[in-house]
Structure 1
């Protein structure tokens, strides 16, 4: 027999320029669904936290590095970055206004309120692909988590980010020796090869065990600049 926890409770549903985005509660966790595709939930978060940790580790002691986090999601990466005084400026690029509102005034505020009030934090509401191609800002690290992986994108346009042309945009905004870290639900040898073809160095993939299912991974590479 089904229990109340077997059926997710939809807390909010929005239609935006990129399609539908839904916030729902499933038992004791909150979930974000975009265009019918599960993005993430609040059940674990260790791989999202490791995304920013691995980038900082790869910067090898660089003083107060600036980081761009691509995708606010449920806020694990932002909260973890803001909790670490070693980071300098923390810029979060999020295209879904609804997600930003859920963090500022909604159910996700409990996870991110302290990080959002940190003076280092800035939220930029725009498309990540557009931002890396158009901004005049530069960063020491890009920590990207806008899809379920390079081969499992939420919208078709995101696929361009993981091709050589899109990676050229990432390289453009990375300072010399900067780190690109990309979250994925599964390894992608094809993406590793694309990174190398785009000129990135020290390309590697780190597996992160999670509470449920197969390990998540973080793809890491050093800017060719």
Structure 2
């Protein structure tokens, strides 16, 4: 078996650990300590995050979408495949090295999606982008950590608490969609979303596009509107 090779490392702003990019043949892995955050062979649940969200806004001719977390681009590519030409997709990524990896070491994985004219990549905390906007987005897709129990940095907790959910709700247009990816279920978070005034669906999904692998959770929350 081909051994893993460490390609690069990167500090997470506000965190104590570092991300490690590893490669084995054509396969890539991004690790945080002993935890594998993502693998280029396992894109099923990240793609489902896009499919489930975009399905809710298909009637909008020029939707504006915010994606929190670039990762390996699975959610971005899946969203682009379903969005119309007039769409606008803003991707917020906090770690500059992840953007650099996407354009260099993992360019084949991203398959040119960063050059799509609908896409704008912003090196920023997605929570800050959300808090400064009002009624701007048709959908906000968040895959910025392992879920409501933040793993990479404590500041991510602010996205999932009552104030963070309120800010996201304010940043959405009427009937807008707020979706979250998580490595595990969390019934308490479902209750938090409902308390914030969203209609909520919990959708278990598999890590692999073949319906195998670990089971992850996606919350699809819809803001009241027209």
TM-score (norm 2): 0.88
Q: Paired residue for 2:124?
A: 126
Q: Paired residue for 2:193?
A: 195
The answer to whether the 8 A contact 1:143-1:180 is kept is: yes
Aligned partner of residue 77 in structure 2, secondary structure: helix
Q: Deviations over 1:170-195 (max 9, x none)?
A: 11211110001101111111110000
1:218 aligned onto 2:218: yes
Q: Paired residue for 2:148?
A: 150
What's the C-alpha RMSD, in Å, of the aligned pairs? 2.0
Report how far residue 82 of structure 1 moved: 2.1
Q: Paired residue for 2:206?
A: 209
TM-score (norm 1): 0.89
Report how far residue 151 of structure 1 moved: 2.2
> Which of 68, 74, 96 is residue 70 of structure 1 equivalent to?
68
1-structure distance, mates of 2:135, 2:111: 25
Q: Deviations over 1:99-158 (max 9, x none)?
A: 001112x22111224211111000011011111112467110011101111124321111
Q: Paired residue for 1:95?
A: 94
Report how far residue 81 of structure 1 moved: 1.7
Aligned partner of residue 146 in structure 1, secondary structure: coil
Q: Deviations over 1:184-218 (max 9, x none)?
A: 111111110000111112x1111112345431121
Aligned length, in residue pairs:
219
1-structure distance, mates of 2:10, 2:94: 13
Deviating above 6 A after TM superposition, structure 1's stretches of 4 or more consecutive aligned residues are none
Please, which moves more after superposition, 106-115 or 118-127?
A: 106-115
2-structure distance, mates of 1:39, 1:30: 11
1-structure distance, mates of 2:151, 2:207: 21
Structure 1 residue runs of 5 or longer lacking an equivalent are none
